[in-house]
Every structure is written in C-alpha cells, then in structure tokens.
Structure 1
Amino acid sequence: MKSINAPLAAQVLELLANDRVAVGSHLAAQNLADRLGVSRSPVNDALRLLQAKGLLTREPNRGYFLAQPVALEVSRLRDELARDEPDVVTRSYFQLADDRLRGEVPDAFSEVWLKNRYGLTPAQVTALLGRMTQEGWVQKKAGYGWAFSPMLTTPDSLLQSYRLRLALEPAALLEPGYRLDPDLLARCRTAEHHLLDGGIETDTPDQLHDRGVRFHESIVEGSGNPFFIDTIRRVNRVRRLLSYRSMKDRARYEQHCRQHLHVLDLIEQQRLQDAAEALREHLGHTLDNLGRIRNILTP
C-alpha cells in the first residue's frame, strides 16, 4: 500500500505546498479527495504515508495535521516519495504521456480502459489518475469517465508557450516592490549546483522538470503579482508532456543551470533590470534550442 500510494502522496504534498498550508493545520481528507478528483480511501492511504515520513501527525477522532513546513522541503520530499513509486506506475505514466502525444489514446476514457490498456490494478489506476489530475492532464467528467484536458501536444504549441514566458517572466522582475526571499533564492541556487554536480545525468524527467519549474515560478512569485503567478503556473502545468520529451536531449542543461545562477546573482545584488535582461536572453536561447530539436518533439 505504501508504494502504490506514493504518487498520490506526492500530489497531496504539492497541494499543501502550493496552498502554503501552515504547520498545525488540520487536513480534511474529503476536501483533498475532491480537489484531486479521487475517492477518500486512497487519500487516507496517502496521508498515512506522509505521516510515516514524519510530515503529518494524527490525533484520534480528529484526523491529520501538518507537522512540518513542507514548502521548504517540497523538492527533496517529492524526490524521496518518487523512490517509493513502483516501476509499473512510473512506466505507465510516461507511456501514457507518449501515447497521448502520438494521438493513440482517445480524448475521453474510462478507468476500465486505463486498467486494461496498461495492465494496472485498481489502486494503481487511482494513483495514476490522482497524479494526472493534479498536473492538469485529465479531469473527471460530469457523468461517467475521464477526459484529457487541453494540453500542449505539438512542437509549435510548446514554442508558443515559451514566447508567452519570454514576455511575462522578465516583466515580473520589474514589478514595483519585487523581492525574492533570501532563503528561497538559496534553495534555487542549491538546486542548480545539484544539477551541475551530476543531477543533469541522473535525475528523472520528473525531477528535472520540477526543478526547472520551481526556479521559474520562484522568480515570478517574487513579483507578488497574482496575475503573473497564476499565468506561469497554468503554462507550466500544460507544458509538462512536451517538456518530458524534450529531455531526451540533455546537453543544453549545463548552460541552463549557469544562466539560472547568473540570474540569481543579479537578483541578489538587486540589479533587477540586468536580471530581467539575463532572463530574457536565457528564455530566448531555450526557444532557439527547442527549435533545433523539433525532430525529438514531433511524434
């Protein structure tokens, strides 16, 4: 049970981090189940797993409470939970992503279809759906079954998303009162050094994607502008499928990391205009690189 529910536990953890839930807060299993689009039973299993990790406490007749500030450790804890995830769920997750990009799966499907196509148990189907729901792939239909959400599924759509980010992210650095929390800046820098020290080759696609997303979302969050923040989060959710495929070519990641570190240095020095220009150049280079690997992105 522990390993089967690790993917859903990771999604619960992300939800708590994104909502900035305070230590000591009560966690309502039904509310989490509704938001993740799953039943209450697997959510309770996920909460038990998080309790075993020391992240939650449980009080008799009262339920689960947050014991640690998960937002500070979310990347590390997601990586740890990922190690508990069984190969069959991981394999099915990435196979389904590739099948979706190839146009080999229908827009709407049932849990039975998912179970039969990928040879999953009911618990594994629940874990897979919980993860995809949180990441914005799928949504529960009003009546019966599931439907894929609109996603970026062509090379052109991924390039369009980068052009949107090219307009948005540098502008966020120039918002009045911009401030990136020093602790968050330090964690971003640590993540980049981890990649340069070997993580580029050894991290999973999930880990690479999440580290990149966290860097860029952290930069935008420093603006304090909820419209910037909401937009970048939406874009990052829907670009995940093509992001995985682009990771087949990791040669460009060392340059990415060094560019990220340069942006962080400029922010730390309060040279926000220079940081905005450096971020614009970084995203422009990424856009050019993606244009050169269209053959990888094309199904």
Structure 2
Amino acid sequence: MIDRSIATQILELIRNEGLEAGEHLPAQMLADRLRVSRSPVNEALALLHEKGVLTREKNRGFFVARPVVEALSDVVEELGLSETDLITSVYFQIADDRLKGQLPDVFSEQLIRTRYGLTRAQLNAVLSRIAQEGWAERKPGYGWEFSPMLTTPDSLLKSYRLRLALEPAALLEPGYRLERKVLERCREVEKHLLAGGIETDTADQLHERGVRFHESLVEGSGNSFFIDTIRRVNRVRRLLSYRSMQHRERYAEHAKQHLRVLELLEQERNEEASDELRQHLLHTLDALARIREIFEP
C-alpha cells in the first residue's frame, strides 16, 4: 500500500516553495527533507506522476508538471489522496495506547493486526510509518520493539530545556546564514497558520511545520553537531507533541514569535534573534507546564 501522506507532503513542498513546471524533484532530497527512506518517496512520486502532477524522464527522474497554487486540501481531495484516513487514525490510536501504557515494549505484528482490525497491507503501512518516524523498530528474527521515547510530562519538559540551551546558541555560531529562500518559506508557513491553519491543519502538519521551522534555524549554523542533536530530539518528542495539540490556543502567539525571530535574522541582528528564540522556548515551556495533565497516562 502506498503511503499517500508522503505524496501529500510532496505536494505541500511544491506549493510552499513555489516550484514551477520543469523543476527537478530528486528522490534523495525529498527523503532527507521528509525524514523517510527513498522507497516510499519513489512510490509517492510514481503516484503523483500517474495523477499528472509530475512528469518522468528516463534516467533523470521526476519533474514538476504544473505548479500547485490551490489550497492543499482542495488539491488532495481532487487527486483522491485523502484515503489515508484509516491509516492515520490507527497510527494515532497506537501512539495514544503506547502513551497510556496499554501496549508492551515488545510486540508482534499479529497483536497490532488483531487489536486494530487491520488487513495485511494496512498493517504494513502503519508499521512502516512508525518505523520511519523512529518510535519502533523490527527486532532481529521476530517481532517489534518500541524505541525508548519521551512518554512522560517531565521527559518532554527536559527535552525543551535541552533545546533552550542549544537552539539560541546555534544562531550565534560564526558564519551563521539562513538562506533567503528558507527564510521566506518559513515566513509563509507562519502566515498560513495565522490565517486559519492553526485550526484546520492536522496534528501531523502542525508538528512537521514546527519541527521544520526550528530545524531550519539550527541548520543555518552549519554546525553538524547542533543539527544532529536537534533532529534526534525532535524524533523522540513526536508522540507527546501530537498530544499537546489538543490545546491549540497557544499556537497563534507562537507563530507571531516565530515571525519576530525571522525578522531579526533577516536584519542580521542575530544576538537579538537568539534572545527572542530563547524567550519563545521559555514561553512554550511555561505553556506545556500548565497543560501537563494531558500528557499523563
């Protein structure tokens, strides 16, 4: 079963970055950006080719056939890519059950298939997504094992304190540079959220947009140690991040804070941007502390 959510993310990337007809979409670049393996990316590219969104050239790969300018939800519905509802629903149910301690550390495919009433193809799609996102992995020989994850309120708050030490410092690295195209892409995402996306985006979309903003800022440092650390932290906080989205009222202020950081970086006022980012993370820590009851098993 093709993971149509990957195809949707590729469409979103084409739209957000304003890619024009004829622009190349290398599979490895997409796999790196979406943090998945090349296999589901290649399947998603082939699907978008079938739908007429992409063209394909022998020995060269896939290219944008036409720009995506309509609302993403309209494009997804028009192309019939919204059929991931069942997979997504089961994915979040497994995540919630894991956080509640209702699933063992080690489990069999049969357990998941029976518990959630899945076909073999649906089971493979769900487990593939979970494995790609790093919170479970196949054991040598037989069965699966959940990875050590952030599953308590204290662990989530500790991850933010690590980010509080790391992210503002990244903006002060010698030679820091946030490319204009990246800055504009980040700005458009925040404007989209303030224009209604906070209420209408899925938990997946909200999480990925927040992750992409913060990773983009750290990537501007060019320091591979900073970049690797922030990516690892973001992978393991995913489950609790999803649950925190039950309370979205804090996101409007977060988006405004993100825009302020971008404005300062654009003006090369990195010390002020670093201070602003630090205040933003402190604000988030405070907000999470006040809603910590939703993270309790």
Same fold (TM over 0.5): yes
Does the C-alpha gap of structure 1 residues 256 and 44 become closer, same or farther in structure 2, counting only changes over 3 Å? closer
> Equivalent residue of 1:251, what SS?
coil
Give the Cα–Cα distance (whole angstroms) in 2 for the partners of residues 144 and 266 of structure 1: 52
2:63 maps to what in 1?
67
Alignment of 1:76-87 (within 5 A): 80=76, 83-87=81-85
2:102 maps to what in 1?
104
1:30 maps to what in 2?
none
How far apart are residue 93 of structure 1 and its match? 0.7
State percent identity of aligned pairs: 61
Does the C-alpha gap of structure 1 residues 287 and 173 become closer, same or farther in structure 2, counting only changes over 3 Å? same
Does the C-alpha gap of structure 1 residues 198 and 9 become closer, same or farther in structure 2, counting only changes over 3 Å? closer
Give the Cα–Cα distance (whole angstroms) in 1 for the partners of residues 252 and 45 of structure 2: 37
1:205 maps to what in 2?
203
Normalising by structure 1, report the TM-score: 0.81
How far apart are residue 10 of structure 1 and its match? 6.3
> Equivalent residue of 1:67, what SS?
strand
Does the C-alpha gap of structure 1 residues 298 and 83 become closer, same or farther in structure 2, counting only changes over 3 Å? farther
Give the Cα–Cα distance (whole angstroms) in 2 for the partners of residues 57 and 160 of structure 1: 46
1:298 maps to what in 2?
296
> Equivalent residue of 2:222, what SS?
coil
Does the C-alpha gap of structure 1 residues 44 and 163 become closer, same or farther in structure 2, counting only changes over 3 Å? closer
How far apart are residue 163 of structure 1 and its match? 0.3
How far apart are residue 96 of structure 1 and its match? 0.5
Give the Cα–Cα distance (whole angstroms) in 1 for the partners of residues 26 and 251 of structure 2: 38
How far apart are residue 179 of structure 1 and its match? 0.4
2:215 maps to what in 1?
217
Give the Cα–Cα distance (whole angstroms) in 1 for the partners of residues 280 and 43 of structure 2: 42
Give the Cα–Cα distance (whole angstroms) in 2 for the partners of residues 253 and 66 of structure 1: 36
2:254 maps to what in 1?
256
Amino acid at match of 2:136: V
8 Å CA contact 2:5–2:84 kept in 1: the answer is no
Does the C-alpha gap of structure 1 residues 272 and 139 become closer, same or farther in structure 2, counting only changes over 3 Å? same
> Equivalent residue of 1:84, what SS?
coil
Amino acid at match of 1:65: G
How far apart are residue 90 of structure 1 and its match? 1.3
Amino acid at match of 2:63: A
2:192 maps to what in 1?
194
Amino acid at match of 1:212: G
Give the Cα–Cα distance (whole angstroms) in 2 for the partners of residues 258 and 24 of structure 1: 31
8 Å CA contact 2:45–2:62 kept in 1: the answer is no
How far apart are residue 55 of structure 1 and its match? 4.5
Q: Deviations over 1:139-198 (max 9, x none)?
A: 111111211111110000000000000000000000000000101100100000101011
1:18 maps to what in 2?
none
Does the C-alpha gap of structure 1 residues 5 and 97 become closer, same or farther in structure 2, counting only changes over 3 Å? same
What RMSD, in angstroms, separates the aligned Cα atoms of the two structures? 3.0
Does the C-alpha gap of structure 1 residues 66 and 226 become closer, same or farther in structure 2, counting only changes over 3 Å? farther
Match for residue 245 of structure 1 among 198, 223, 243: 243
How far apart are residue 107 of structure 1 and its match? 1.1
Q: Deviations over 1:105-139 (max 9, x none)?
A: 11122222211111111111111112111111111
Give the Cα–Cα distance (whole angstroms) in 2 for the partners of residues 170 and 229 of structure 1: 13
Give the Cα–Cα distance (whole angstroms) in 2 for the partners of residues 43 and 274 of structure 1: 39
8 Å CA contact 2:134–2:236 kept in 1: the answer is yes
Give the Cα–Cα distance (whole angstroms) in 2 for the partners of residues 43 and 271 of structure 1: 38
8 Å CA contact 1:51–1:58 kept in 2: the answer is no
How far apart are residue 56 of structure 1 and its match? 6.3
Q: Deviations over 1:58-116 (max 9, x none)?
A: 64xx6x82435xxxx9xx69x94995343211110110010000000111222222111
Amino acid at match of 2:61: F
1:157 maps to what in 2?
155
2:56 maps to what in 1?
57
Aligned residues: 271
How far apart are residue 43 of structure 1 and its match? 7.5
8 Å CA contact 2:49–2:55 kept in 1: the answer is yes
Matched, 1:226 2:241: no
Does the C-alpha gap of structure 1 residues 36 and 110 become closer, same or farther in structure 2, counting only changes over 3 Å? farther
Gaps of 5+ in 2: 13-22, 29-35
Gaps of 5+ in 1: 15-21, 28-34
Query: Which deviates more from structure 2 when the two are superposed, residues 262-271 or residues 117-126?
Result: 117-126
Give the Cα–Cα distance (whole angstroms) in 2 for the partners of residues 82 and 232 of structure 1: 35
8 Å CA contact 2:157–2:285 kept in 1: the answer is yes
Matched, 1:267 2:265: yes
Amino acid at match of 1:128: V
